[in-house]
Structure 1
Amino acid sequence: MYSGDVLLVLGNEYNAEILGATDEPRSAQALSDELDIPIATCYRRIEELEEADLLEHQGRVLSEERRRVSVYRRTVDRIVVNFDDGNYTVNVAGRADVKNKLDEVWRSLSTP
């Protein structure tokens, strides 16, 4: 995704909060309740974040009410925005990227 698009998506109300809360799969209703977001708005923001490849549908789980509900999880663990000389860059680290870097660090520490 173009870096300007990521900034636009993050600038929309509730999107950053939703990303912050979806380190583990969460339903729209759980996000709505926890973050105090109207449920219709929550679904719109989830769709917007999915279109931006920042959030993904993780499947359907059985809720406490014994209904199947969709759960969502963020696809990124880090977004870094740098401003330099009137320009900006946006670096997005996906979950796998961050995990791989941690694995590399661990391997380098455990190698004699």
Structure 2
Amino acid sequence: MSRGGWTEQPDQESNALLSALGSKYSAEILCAAGTPKSAQALSEDIEIPIATCYRRIEELVDAGLLECEGRQLSEEGRRTNIYRRTLDEIEVDFSSEEPQFSQKRRTEAKNRLQDQRTD
């Protein structure tokens, strides 16, 4: 269901979403991933251990909140995945028996505009 650019999350995905959002550092990773970044860059930006960052990234990708946007060469010459969040806003409604989620997904146009500002 959609309302004003918001889409509701199916019930089966709610638990994964709530779990991913409830993990320490997940919100910080999502905030930092407004532009494409590697796990190493995210780890450095929010000052968390790289292993923790990789675990949170995996949870966020599994929940559909973060996506791998491609690969690029690191400063050391290794290919690394680049991640970006898939949404800008999420709403949680606890008034029912199960939490209900609505999210405002990022558009490709918004991603392109954001990328132009950071170049």
Percent identity of equivalent pairs = 53
After superposition, the Cα gap between the structure-2 partners of 1:13 and 1:66, relative to the gap in structure 1 and judged at 3 Å, is same
Rg larger in structure: 1
RMSD, aligned α-carbons: 2.3
Q: Secondary structure at the match of 2:27?
A: helix
Residues 1-44 of structure 1, C-alpha deviations (whole Å, 9 max, x = no match): 52233122100011111011101100111111111110011111
Q: Which runs of 5+ in 2 are unaligned?
A: 1-11, 111-119
- Other-structure match for 2:117: none
Distance 1:44 1:30 in 2: 15
- Structure 1 runs (4+) deviating above 6 angstroms are none
With the length of structure 2 as denominator, give the TM-score of the two structures: 0.71
Deviation at 1:84, TM superposition (A): 2.9
With the length of structure 1 as denominator, give the TM-score of the two structures: 0.75
Q: Which runs of 5+ in 1 are unaligned?
A: 100-112
Distance 1:35 1:90 in 2: 26
Would you say how many aligned residue pairs link Structure 1 and Structure 2?
Answer: 99
Q: RCO higher in 1 or 2 (8 Å CA, sep ≥ 6)?
A: 2
